Amino acid sequence: MRALGPGSVSSFLKIILDVIYVGLWVWVSLLAVFTVAVLLLSFNPELITEKLHVGGSADELIAKGPLFAGGLAAWALMSGGWMVIVERLRRIFATLTAGDPFHPDNVRRLRVVGLVLAGLEIGHYIFAALAGWLAPEAKIDSTFSISAWFPVLVVFVLAEVFREGARLRREAELTI
């Protein structure tokens, strides 16, 4: 089976990325709606106590509402980052399906993927620090992980490989 062009592995992977991209749009939209709903319900606790008929645990639910909404918002931001990554990968695989792997835009797309991966990891550290400060009972691991930073480095190296490939292709096109 071919790696590039129509009907290749890259076209199959692009279809999978398209499906994941649509799923991420739905997921981020739902998270945004749930975040707003939780935030609004935490400011109007009578809606919770009247509709759910909960006993003494309603006070704890009401007190932790903004914290829960913050967690949902962080989850939505993280999912938005994954959506950016999948969108850039879709565009890269579209050029692979077209048979043009060293398209000049792929360099920028890979750099964006690397930056978003780095941002997601830094965001994880920030979220873990905030969670440890605001909700000490939450046990979120914030230790440095080489397995999280290795893909960031790999993507940046691949971006440079694609940059060099695009440069060589430009030179070959100028050759008579």
For the chain, which residues make up each domain, given as ranges? 1-76, 102-176
Question: Is pLDDT at 79 greater than 90 in this prediction?
Answer: yes
For the chain, what is the HEC assignment?
Answer: CCCCCCCCHHHHHHHHHHHHHHHHHHHHHHHHHHHHHHHHHHHCHHHHHHHHCCCCHHHHHHHCHHHHHHHHHHHHHHHHHHHHHHHHHHHHHHHHHCCCCCCHHHHHHHHHHHHHHHHHHHHHHHHHHHHHHHCCCCCCCCCCCHHHHHHHHHHHHHHHHHHHHHHHHHHHHHCC
- Summarize the confidence of residues 39-47 as an average pLDDT: 70
Question: Is pLDDT at 167 greater than 70 in this prediction?
Answer: yes
pLDDT at position 39, please? Answer: 77
- Summarize the confidence of residues 99-125 as an average pLDDT: 93
Q: Which of 38-47, 53-62, 75-84, 125-134 has the lowest mean pLDDT?
A: 53-62
pLDDT at position 26, please? Answer: 95
pLDDT at position 56, please? Answer: 52
* Better pLDDT: 128 or 142: 128
Percent pLDDT > 90 in the chain is 41
Q: What is the pLDDT of residues 16-36, one digit of tens each?
A: 999 999 999 999 999 988 888
Question: Is pLDDT at 2 greater than 90 in this prediction?
Answer: no
Question: Is pLDDT at 154 greater than 70 in this prediction?
Answer: yes
pLDDT at position 17, please? Answer: 95
pLDDT at position 169, please? Answer: 86
